Structure 1
Amino acid sequence: MKFIHAADLHLDTPFSSISKFSKQLQENLKQSTYTVAKKVFKTAIDQQVDFIILAGDTFDDTDRSLEAQMFLRDEFEQLNNFGIKVYLIYGNHDYFRDNFSVINFPNNVTVFGKDVSTAELIADGLHVGITGFSYYQQHVNQNVVATYPSHGNFDYQIGILHAGVMDNNYSPFKISDLLSKGYDYWALGHIHKREILHEYPYIIYSGNTQGRNQNETGIKGFYLLEVKNKVTTAKFIPSSVYTWQNKSLNASEDETIDSLILKIKNLLLDKNNLVTIDINNAQKYAADVVKTIDRGELLTQFKDSPAILYKINLKYGRKSNLSEIDQKYWNESKEKTFDLNEIKDLDSRLYGNEVLRKHINQPEFLSHMEELVQNTINKKYNGE
């Protein structure tokens, strides 16, 4: 038996901060989620899999476009021609609503509803059970895994879940919760980073199929699973059209724009990479070099490079250490300022926004904010 586990296709991702790119590149980026989805479905046909699991957030928004719906319908009909079934749940981005779709999927597609249920099929002689549920709102605070049935009278049972480990906004669970069900495989979605949480049985986050911003670095893809004699093997299949990368340079006092351009060119050698460059110790640069970078003028100088320069971040250190009393005041103010609860209370309307709330709740949010503030202070301090 063979099947594919993919998640977080996010069809119709708008891609932000790309207005300085060429119109063609902007269009290619916006189409990239469709391109990688086609690769998922083509791989299914080429590998003659029995079925595909899509573990949530297939669409980027619950108000999905007609283009995205018709695209999926056509792809699913092609899969149907090859006898390949599709098992799909909706996540927090494309959560389930009554009458939310204007296009009906073909009969080889099973869409799980808001209540946990189990679909059955025969694949390569195995009686297979697939259990899952779709989100019915943006946040699901309860541990829905608790309502999943234990392993039934199946040769092989799969659980589909769009959730975060102990993430109270997204069907929180512990790995032990999943193991207690006795399933043979867990197909997870939601986290845009592939990760194998457990082997024997496999509990796998496949990650998203295409990185969508500078924080989603590295090659993205999906998993091809094969079951022989009830032993499951997992193979990662890369699918990214564009790969986001972070690279760094160290500033030098004798740097000129010409020498900096040459250094950056040497970091842009890999085709179809979107590169963010951090320049450390930017306080060493002359004022005219800093001004040119701050105005964004360098971003347009690398149109012929294989990789694409997405952003340059100037990171400032101090020319001299803080005095003892300055360090004392910084430490005290840092503790009071970078309090997550205080930040959430600053403006309930901001925290009520789904995108901002998700960003604020990321584990690295506070440390990132602290770094940005320290960088701003360092820049001003160096200029005085």
Structure 2
Amino acid sequence: MKFLHAADLHLDRSFEGLIEVADSFQPYLLQANQKMLTNLVDTAIQEAVDFVLLAGDTFHQNRPTLKTQRYFFAEMERLNQAEIPVFMNFGNHDYYQAERYWFTFPDNVVLFTQEAVETKRFTTKKGEQAAVTSFSFQHPLIEQEMIDQFPTKTSDAFQIGMYHGGQMPYAPFTLSKLMEKGYDYWALGHIHVPQILSEQPWIVYPGTPQGHTQKETQLAGVKIVENIGGTTTVRSVEIAAVQWQKQQVSLARVRNNPQLFQAVKEQVQIMQPTLLQIELTDGEALGAELAYQAASDELRSALQEELPEHIFLWQLTVADAPEERPYLAVEEALVDQLIATYQEPTVFQELLQELDQNPAIHPLLNQQFKTEVITELSQIMKDTYRFRAVKTDE
């Protein structure tokens, strides 16, 4: 048995935190959600899965645009033609209201529409028995623990619990209660960062497959779940149409302003549509002019013209120059000599004389304490200062 588990597609959601998007990059953003959905369907067909699970927040709101509805139903029809059923519930963003849908769900889409737990049983084309137990939001919030309504597994069918939520006030649950049900797989939704809460049984948040903000960079796409001979495995397939990425670009070899553009082009080698944040490092040779042009946003705009159209440079920053360690006009060997002095028992004991008189502290001032203090002091000295180079005779 093989199935695809996805959640939190958030179709219709726009990309947040972007200003003055380059005209050449606009089509990538406008088509990203549709492309992501197409990638999902392509993956299901290529993997020849037995069914697909959509665990809530497929749409970004409970009144999807008609354009998005039409595209979604067309993609579901592609799965219908491939004889792949889809089990779908509704989350806190796309909570279910029947009148909001203007097109008919294809016959292969099995809906959970009630704020009450129900089970759908079916047989795969290979004759394997499976059951999906779930519920849907009909309001933006569900404060009760819906897990209490889930029945305990009692049959030999591969039992899946599909649950959107996990925290107040969005259908909270405790991990222990999920595990008590005896299910073979928990298909979770709601949390955008991919998380595996358990492997026995598998309890999985696939996360949102398409990041829509700069914070949504930890993506795992969708999960492909296989059960062979009673052993279940889970792997990820990326389906994002546009990625968010931060990259450091070193200017260590740049000696004048024009060389910066070539350094960026050489180091930024990205092939897929990307919302890019660049942090320039090692730019001391360019002086204050670099910081000025970056702060004015002119340098970002100029660099955008140098990059391929499938990359939009949405943010450019300059890393702070590391503070230089103070210079001591002595050789580093002097530190070792000073440390050796403090290792003398009488000297060390004199330094700790007042502490040693405290009966609560006295037992702690043993040889191990002395060794640790001396070692740490030596390291701090060497990490804090630069030293004069040792002169050698030629």
TM-score, with structure 2 as normaliser: 0.72
Distance 2:63 2:282 in 1: 45
Pick closer, same or farther for the CA change 1:142–1:295 going to 2, 3 Å: farther
Give yes or no for the alignment of 1:194 onto 2:198: no
Pairing 1:275-354 to 2, within 5 Å after superposition: 275-278=276-279, 287-300=288-301, 301-306=303-308, 307-313=311-317
CA contact (8 A) 1:214 1:276 kept: no
Give yes or no for the alignment of 1:270 onto 2:274: no
Pick closer, same or farther for the CA change 1:19–1:27 going to 2, 3 Å: farther
Q: Which structure is larger by alpha-carbon Rg, 1 or 2?
A: 2
Task: State the partner residue of 1:139.
Answer: 141
Distance 2:23 2:269 in 1: 22
Distance 1:241 1:304 in 2: 22
Pick closer, same or farther for the CA change 1:110–1:266 going to 2, 3 Å: same
**What code does the residue aligned with 1:143 have?**
E
Distance 1:284 1:64 in 2: 53
Pick closer, same or farther for the CA change 1:135–1:12 going to 2, 3 Å: same
Distance 1:283 1:168 in 2: 49
Distance 1:218 1:243 in 2: 10
SS state at 2:151 partner:
coil
Distance 2:239 2:112 in 1: 26
Task: State the partner residue of 2:164.
Answer: 162
Distance 2:90 2:255 in 1: 51
Distance 1:7 1:106 in 2: 19
Pairing 1:356-375 to 2, within 5 Å after superposition: none
CA contact (8 A) 2:142 2:169 kept: yes
Distance 2:152 2:256 in 1: 66
Task: State the partner residue of 1:79.
Answer: 79
Larger mean Cα displacement after TM superposition, 11-20 or 129-138: 11-20
Task: State the partner residue of 2:69.
Answer: 69
Task: State the partner residue of 2:353.
Answer: none
TM-score, with structure 1 as normaliser: 0.74
Structure 1 residue 13: deviation in Å?
Answer: 1.9
Larger mean Cα displacement after TM superposition, 108-117 or 95-104: 95-104
Q: Structure 1: state its 5+ residue gaps.
A: 321-384
Task: State the partner residue of 2:349.
Answer: none
Pick closer, same or farther for the CA change 1:112–1:256 going to 2, 3 Å: farther
SS state at 1:23 partner:
coil
Give yes or no for the alignment of 1:16 onto 2:31: no
Pick closer, same or farther for the CA change 1:265–1:115 going to 2, 3 Å: same
**What code does the residue aligned with 1:61 have?**
Q
Structure 1 residue 150: deviation in Å?
Answer: 1.3
Structure 1 residue 111: deviation in Å?
Answer: 1.5
Distance 2:142 2:231 in 1: 33
Pairing 1:72-151 to 2, within 5 Å after superposition: 72-113=72-113, 114-123=115-124, 124-151=126-153
**What code does the residue aligned with 2:315 have?**
K
Distance 1:43 1:251 in 2: 41
**What code does the residue aligned with 1:77 have?**
E
**What code does the residue aligned with 2:314 have?**
Y
Pairing 1:166-245 to 2, within 5 Å after superposition: 167-245=167-245
Pick closer, same or farther for the CA change 1:53–1:45 going to 2, 3 Å: same
Length, aligned pairs only: 318
**What code does the residue aligned with 2:146 have?**
V
CA contact (8 A) 1:223 1:235 kept: yes
CA contact (8 A) 2:63 2:94 kept: yes
SS state at 1:99 partner:
helix
Pick closer, same or farther for the CA change 1:281–1:143 going to 2, 3 Å: farther
Distance 2:228 2:323 in 1: 63
Structure 1 residue 289: deviation in Å?
Answer: 3.1
Distance 1:68 1:154 in 2: 39
SS state at 1:80 partner:
helix
Pick closer, same or farther for the CA change 1:92–1:284 going to 2, 3 Å: farther
Q: Structure 2: state its 5+ residue gaps.
A: 325-394
SS state at 1:302 partner:
helix
CA contact (8 A) 1:150 1:182 kept: yes
SS state at 2:196 partner:
strand
CA contact (8 A) 1:160 1:187 kept: yes
Structure 1 residue 298: deviation in Å?
Answer: 2.1
Pick closer, same or farther for the CA change 1:68–1:132 going to 2, 3 Å: same
After superposition, the C-alpha distances for 1:124-171 in whole angstroms (9 at most, x for unaligned) are 32221101111222232222212211114241110111223xx32322
Pick closer, same or farther for the CA change 1:283–1:62 going to 2, 3 Å: farther
Structure 1 residue 184: deviation in Å?
Answer: 0.3
The ranges of structure 1 where at least 4 consecutive aligned residues each deviate by more than 6 angstroms after the TM superposition are 280-285, 317-320
Task: State the partner residue of 1:57.
Answer: 57
Structure 1 residue 243: deviation in Å?
Answer: 1.9
Percent identity of the aligned residues? 32
The RMSD of aligned alpha carbons is 2.8
Distance 2:162 2:238 in 1: 21
